[in-house]
Amino acid sequence: MRKTFAEKSRNKTFLGMLAVMSATSILFHGCSRKNDKKESKKLIPKEHPVAKTVLKTDKENIDSDKRVIYLTFDDGPNQGTENLLRILNKRNVCATAFLVGKHVYGSKRQKDDLELLRKDPLVELANHSFTHAHNKYTDFYKNPEAVVNDFNIAKDSLKLYDKIARTPGRNIWRLNNINVTDLKSSAEAANKLKQAGYKVVGWDLEWKPTNKMVLKGKHEEMLKKVDSIFFNDLEKTSRHLVFLTHDQYLTDTDSVNELDLFIEKLQKSNRFVFKRISEYPKINEVLN
């Protein structure tokens, strides 16, 4: 008898079975919902669709054979933000957008994209700093007080009062039960953010770009990585995987198609629930 995924079956090919699974097995848990309209073959329509009310599930009532995925996208609003929203609405899954404050004021289109993000019930907004460290990360983290001030400016200007944050250029976690710093030189700044009340969230899996700033590789490769992380218990929190990519990698048709297929096949596997990062275990506890 084949064991369930929850029992860490030696059968590592559950994602490989997607090709023979019926489309009727799509999972509509978490913040996803059924779309009865015929899907358009074109992934980049001219207008942004309006999302309907999102159905929620009991946070504590996730079946033991299910895994939770948190789709997160950094550096918005940016090129590709509108394509991201179209994918999310096509697949009816929620995500968290980690915003950079200065990007909102970069152009009229970026301001308009912020409003699209705010109005979309599938999307949750979080803090990714105001300046994005001016892309000079080593210098940025040398001044912890300035780091906190930068996040405060983003919080106030964008009205992001829940204080969920992600550090630019660093995979850092500061929650009550998770304390991870990828580069030790950033540790003091990360601690200062936590002391200021920020709940700092990194990621478990990143879909990186090519040197042309488009998504690198195919969706099948990313599905195998999801499989491997869960099978080997490499998540920061067991059964919960935080996925990261960036809005600006979604400017070409191939990248849009690959992300769309990645989400579609996760849905069709009937093994995953999609949630916003504010539903991550213990993230809403008062920081010690």
User: CA–CA separation, 19 vs 38, rounded Å?
Assistant: 21
Contact 199, 287 (CB under 8 A): yes
User: Which has more pLDDT, 6 or 224?
Assistant: 224
Tally Cβ neighbours within 10 Å of residue 25.
12
Q: What is the DSSP letter of 125?
A: E
Amino acid sitting at position 227: D
The bridge status of strand 173-174 relative to strand 179-180 is antiparallel
Sign of the Cα torsion 154, 112, 81, 69 reads: positive
- The three-class DSSP label of residue 217 is coil
High-pLDDT (> 70) share of the chain, %: 79
Name the pLDDT band for 80 (thresholds 50, 70, 90).
very high
The predicted pLDDT at position 61 comes to: 63
Contact 99, 73 (CB under 8 A): no
pLDDT over threshold 70, residue 177: yes
The predicted pLDDT at position 21 comes to: 43
Q: Which residue has the tokens 């803090």?
A: 127
Separation in Å, CA 270 to CA 50, 68, 247, 279: 26, 11, 26, 20
The predicted pLDDT at position 34 comes to: 45
Contact 94, 123 (CB under 8 A): yes
User: CA–CA separation, 278 vs 227, rounded Å?
Assistant: 23
Spell out the domain ranges in the chain: 73-279
The predicted pLDDT at position 120 comes to: 98
Where in the chain does DSSP place strands (E)? 67-76, 95-99, 123-127, 164-165, 173-174, 179-180, 199-200, 205-206, 240-246, 272-274
Amino acid sitting at position 25: S
High-pLDDT (> 90) share of the chain, %: 76
Query: Taking the model in full, what pTM does it have?
Result: 0.84
| Digit-coded pLDDT (tens) for 202-245 | 999 999 999 999 999 999 999 999 999 999 999 999 999 999 99
| Digit-coded pLDDT (tens) for 110-160 | 999 999 999 999 999 999 999 999 999 999 999 999 999 999 999 999 999
- The three-class DSSP label of residue 30 is coil
The predicted pLDDT at position 204 comes to: 98
Q: Which residue has the tokens 């697949």?
A: 91
Could you tell me where the DSSP H helices lie in 162-233? 187-195, 219-231
- Give the CATH fold of the 73-279 domain: TIM Barrel (3.20.20)
Task: Please state which of the ranges 15-19, 161-165, 184-188 shows the lowest mean pLDDT.
Answer: 15-19
User: Which has more pLDDT, 35 or 113?
Assistant: 113
The predicted pLDDT at position 217 comes to: 97
Contact 117, 74 (CB under 8 A): no
With a CB cutoff of 8 Å and minimum separation 6, the contacts of 184 are: none
| Digit-coded pLDDT (tens) for 133-143 | 999 999 999 99
